Amino acid sequence: MTKRGLIKILLNSIFVFSFYGCAVISGYEDSLNSFDSNLESKNCDYTQIEENIKDDDDPILWGIQGGSLARNCFAYKKSNDFFDQAEEKYKLTVDKDSILNNTLESSKSILINNNANEYEGNTYEKVMVNTYKALNYASLNDNVNARIEFNRALDRQRRAKDYFKSEIQKKEKNLQKVNKEAENTVYKQYDGLLNDFKAYPDFINPFTTYMAGVYFLLEGDSVKARDLLKESMEMQPSNGQIKSDYELSNKYLASSLKDSKEKYAWIIYENGKGMIKDEIRIDIPLFIFSRNVIYTGMALPKIVERNSSYTYLNINGKDTTEVCNMDNVIKTEFKKRFPAILSEAIANTITKTITQKQLNDSSPLAGFLGVLYQALTNKADIRSWSALPKNFQSLRVKLDGKPIEIKNNEGKIIKEVFIPNDKNALIYVKSQSIGNNIIHKILF
């Protein structure tokens, strides 16, 4: 290879790094860890998040993360402003992705890595955006918009299966044929991760369906509440809390819970930290791709569990019951997306390894540059909505005029909540870790 050719390769590499930013080399681990620290410490400084969105630097990712931070800070309007920006970007880019855009995205994933592409989120994230927006509006006493957002969340769930199928098909059209030997090598390491859980049906998030049912019951729409709680019960027929709420909705089918003398409070508990992505490096035998290469390997995302907070909450001697395992929602979608993720990663490795071989055949120095480029850009995309919980739990208690004492699983009071005698209530508790408690109170 000529000196001119070597300079061209070097300049192209510099262009890639400068144009797409250092994230194609370093990834997003530091920025995500920094956000998680701010979230847990309730640092309500949105400056960096707002700058990222303004600069069009992953506006979907930082819109949903910012929405969670603002919600933790009880800034419900600010939270919905962030969620709105993320949702608008979903509509403008992700939902209307063209064949050309998908081809360009796949090309960048193959030639560089997926960190060069804008974050597009997951289906479960879109559903949760509308769910949180509904809860924020309820906290703002805007029940018209709360109702609209719950309906949007439910509609997203109904359309999720068809949309997801179409999204994956568009991506797969732009990928090369999968190298089966490489695929088998990877799946051996992912077997437990992809198969050791109970998947939810058709990309449904049971929490959204259940939460909407409880909300409509509190709002006085017993018919809609009954239908949603029935749907929840059919998904989890042995769940005593869901069954009890369904029976209550039947009791008020011809009337309204709001007009009843009996008053209730639902305690909804967001427990712990949900699954996030981490990187795994897999060494692929060189003979699978090509001989006469110095380095080859594959970087893939894997999902990892994080810690729970209190195992449950206790109110009036009763424990909260899990109504949705968010980790399983995340696992279900990751498993469905993984074949496309793996195909892209294999295509990336094949392209760079063959290029490395060709460069090495021409010149040892050119081969070294190829090795350097492949090593530097061998980076998995680990972006995800890290503010989601590990699971959602629920408990309904009948009000007796006394303060509600919310206790942890060791029987220690973490909060006393006062509810007026003529009101029903939704008490929403988020605890990422023991001692870190955020409590929202909504009266009906």
Structure confidence by residue, pLDDT tens digits, 384-431 = 999 999 999 999 999 999 999 999 999 999 999 999 999 999 999 999
* pLDDT score at 3: 46
Q: Could you give the count of Cα atoms lying within 13 Å of 154 in the half-sphere of its Cβ?
A: 21
Is pLDDT at 188 greater than 60 in this prediction? yes
Contact 58, 24 (CB under 8 A): no
pTM of model > 0.85: yes
* pLDDT score at 15: 57
Fill in the amino acid letter for 145: N
Mean predicted confidence (pLDDT) in 15-43: 82
pLDDT category of residue 1 using cuts at 50, 70 and 90: very low
Distance CA 272, CA 315 (A): 19
Instruction: Find the range with the poorest average confidence among 114-118, 217-221, 307-311.
Output: 114-118
List, for residues 43-77, the tens digit of each pLDDT value. 999 999 999 999 999 999 999 999 999 999 999 99
> Could you tell me what percent of the chain has a pLDDT over 70?
85
Closest of 441, 443, 435, 314 to residue 42, by C-alpha: 435
Contact 205, 132 (CB under 8 A): no
pLDDT category of residue 19 using cuts at 50, 70 and 90: low
What token pair was written down for 153?
């969340």
Mapped onto helix, strand or coil, the DSSP state of residue 398 is: strand
Contacts of 40 (CB under 8 A, 6+ apart): 432, 433, 436
The residues pairing with 253 across neighbouring beta strands, listed in sequence order, are: none
Residue 396's H or E segment, with its range, is strand 391-398
Is pLDDT at 16 greater than 60 in this prediction? no
* pLDDT score at 258: 92
* pLDDT score at 10: 47
Contact 368, 236 (CB under 8 A): no
Residue 438 dihedral angles phi and psi, to the nearest 5°? -125, 125
Contact 144, 221 (CB under 8 A): no
List, for residues 222-240, the tens digit of each pLDDT value. 999 999 999 999 999 999 9
What token pair was written down for 69?
């931070």
Mean predicted confidence (pLDDT) in 372-386: 90
- In the chain, % helix, strand, coil (3-state, to 5) comes to 60, 15, 30
Contacts of 399 (CB under 8 A, 6+ apart): 263, 264, 265, 419, 421, 424, 425
Q: Could you give the count of Cα atoms lying within 13 Å of 412 in the half-sphere of its Cβ?
A: 6
Instruction: Find the range with the poorest average confidence among 61-65, 198-202, 339-343.
Output: 198-202
* pLDDT score at 159: 86
Which has more pLDDT, 111 or 45? 45
List, for residues 276-298, the tens digit of each pLDDT value. 999 998 876 555 555 566 667 78
CA 343-99-94 angle, to 5 degrees, is 85
Distance CA 147, CA 135 (A): 9
> Could you tell me what percent of the chain has a pLDDT over 90?
63
* pLDDT score at 6: 46
CA 439 to chain centre: 22
